[in-house]
Amino acid sequence: MLFTLLAFGIALGLLITFHEFGHYAVARYFGVRVERFSVGFGRILLQRTDQHGTQWALSAIPLGGYVKMLDTAGADASPQERAQAFDAKPLWQRSLVVGAGPAANLVLAVVLYALLNWAGYQEPTAIIATPPEQSLAAQAGLHGGEQITAVDGAPVASWNQLRWQLLNPLADGGRVSLEALSESGARRDYTLDLVATDIAEEKNDPLAELGLTLALPRARVTEVLADSAGEQGGLQAGDVIVGIEDIREPDPTTLVDLVSRHADQPLSVQVSREGTELSFFVTPRAEQDEDGLTVGRIGVMLGADLPMTLVRHGLFDGLSKATTRTMETAGLSLRMLGRMVTGQASLRNLSGPVTIADYAGQTARAGWVSYISFMALISVSIGILNLLPIPMLDGGHLFFYAIEALRGGRPIPEHWRERGHRIGLSILLTLMFLAIFNDFARLFSP
């Protein structure tokens, strides 16, 4: 729990602070007086005032931060102080200051994705398992074992890239073409006719419903216990089990299940050792499990032999792909929000702080690649959500400024602005209630 909260706090604190720094940087550029930049909320723990009069503060609650500007100069303010007030700036400058926060989140997402692209990371190769007979994948002619190399002409290097390339076609529906290499190395094209799917629903995997699942890893022997049935049969650490009895390419679960059901019965085992396929007979020994049942065991430790692909891009290509990924993620987020508003997608897809914290902990445990990808995704989400035309959000302020521009530069009357803020607060509280309700519904669902 502590690790999850720490991962959540670091991610949210960094993303919101960067958002606020966007506001700060553009405000300072246009000469707006920034009275305080706080990392965190609540009681101030440390503070320092710079030469511009800005108080830099570290506050007690490290879940983001805020920027406090001089909104309106007092009646006794000097001409210089009036010129530094936010409301004294031209409409276009105020709009840029407000829009700089969401823009900073999108820029941060590009940077995070680019860092991943430049550093390189290992991902499972896009080799698919045998699809169910009536699935779209099977109807298209896929048999399993094929490596998907492109989606609609866009190259695919890994399973995660395959999933990403299929998100838009799955959300919108339509025909999509897959290019694949068979196990023999022959190249073939396949066509899937997709129906628009609610890709955000957690209860189903949309790719699995098409019949596209990652091929299960083969079983690799990581350790052979001394004087075990496996050692006596000839198994060695590093062997990859490519066959047992009539099962080819068994995954670890299948292998363990088969061995446990054949106590004191010799099994034919084929392994790949340094590129050479060898055959052995191994007789599992009868032992008692924790429930007192007799099971077969061969005394070896198993790991997963999953084909992996190193994904790495050069300086400009990595930056280009990071920008494209950010824009595609933003577009997908907007489409899903639009579908929720129109009733085409369920409001159960809204996630609140509990779910986000859980994902933060899971990705942090999975490694730095997953955690940075998670932060990039949340950064895009923060940027897009803040651009929604809801009063009290950045997008709401921009909406008011658009009306002000249509009114020839005349500000919206204060009473209308206050009504808008009350409506915006009601909308945000309702959305927060739904998100937290969904969090606990997921938490306590079977």
pLDDT at 135 over 60: yes
Catalytic residue annotation = 20
333 and 405 inside one domain: yes
Q: For the residues of 274-287, what is the DSSP string, one character each?
A: TTEEEEEEE-PEEE
Q: List, in sequence order, the alpha helices (H) in 128-251.
A: 136-139, 159-172, 206-210, 229-233
Task: Return d(Cα 183, Cα 146) in angstroms, integer.
Answer: 6
Q: So what's the pLDDT on residue 361? A: 80
Q: How confident is the model at residue 249 (pLDDT cuts 50, 70, 90)?
A: confident
| 181 strand-pairing partners | 147, 187
Task: Return d(Cα 201, Cα 438) in angstroms, integer.
Answer: 12
94 and 180 inside one domain: no
Residue 412 lies in a domain: yes
363 and 442 inside one domain: yes
Q: So what's the pLDDT on residue 182? A: 87
Q: So what's the pLDDT on residue 262? A: 93
Residue 11 lies in a domain: no
CATH number of residue 183's parent domain: 2.30.42.10
Q: How confident is the model at residue 352 (pLDDT cuts 50, 70, 90)?
A: low
DSSP 197: -
pLDDT at 168 over 60: yes
Q: So what's the pLDDT on residue 107? A: 96
Segment 390-402 mean pLDDT: 90
Q: Give the mean pLDDT of the chain.
A: 87
pLDDT at 30 over 90: yes
Residue 15 lies in a domain: no
Number of domains comprising the chain: 3
Segment 59-67 mean pLDDT: 81
Backbone angles phi, psi at 294, to 5 degrees: -85, 125
- Residue 258 near residue 248, CB atoms below 8 Å: no
178 and 239 inside one domain: no
Q: So what's the pLDDT on residue 164? A: 86
242 and 343 inside one domain: no
385 and 301 inside one domain: no
Q: So what's the pLDDT on residue 56? A: 93
Among 131-140, 149-158, 270-279, 357-366, name the one with the lowest average pLDDT: 357-366
Q: So what's the pLDDT on residue 167? A: 82
Residue 369 lies in a domain: yes
Q: So what's the pLDDT on residue 24? A: 94
pLDDT at 133 over 90: no
Residue 2 lies in a domain: no
Task: Return d(Cα 297, Cα 94) in angstroms, integer.
Answer: 72
Dihedral of alpha carbons 228, 233, 236, 242, sign: negative
Q: How confident is the model at residue 432 (pLDDT cuts 50, 70, 90)?
A: confident
Kindly state the tokens that stand for 432. 């927060």
Q: Which residue has the higher pLDDT, 244 or 199?
A: 244
Q: So what's the pLDDT on residue 278? A: 92
295 and 356 inside one domain: no
Q: So what's the pLDDT on residue 347? A: 66
pLDDT at 200 over 70: no
Percent of the chain exceeding pLDDT 70 equals 94
- Residue 219 near residue 240, CB atoms below 8 Å: yes
Choose the final residue of a domain: 189, 216, 243. Answer: 216
Residues sharing a CB contact under 8 Å with residue 393, sequence separation 6 or more, in sequence order: 385, 386, 387, 424, 428
Choose the final residue of a domain: 248, 278, 305. Answer: 305
Choose the final residue of a domain: 276, 305, 334. Answer: 305
- H helix or E strand, kind and range, residue 431: helix 414-444
- Tell me how far the alpha carbon of residue 316 is from its chain's centroid: 23
Q: How confident is the model at residue 253 (pLDDT cuts 50, 70, 90)?
A: confident
Residue 25 lies in a domain: no
Q: Which domain holds residue 133?
A: 122-216
pLDDT at 342 over 80: no
Task: Express each pLDDT in 74-90 by its tens digit.
Answer: 777 788 888 899 988 99
Residue 185 lies in a domain: yes
Q: So what's the pLDDT on residue 204? A: 66
Q: How confident is the model at residue 444 (pLDDT cuts 50, 70, 90)?
A: low
pLDDT at 274 over 80: yes
224 and 332 inside one domain: no
Among 303-307, 374-378, 400-404, 419-423, name the one with the lowest average pLDDT: 303-307
Q: How confident is the model at residue 296 (pLDDT cuts 50, 70, 90)?
A: very high
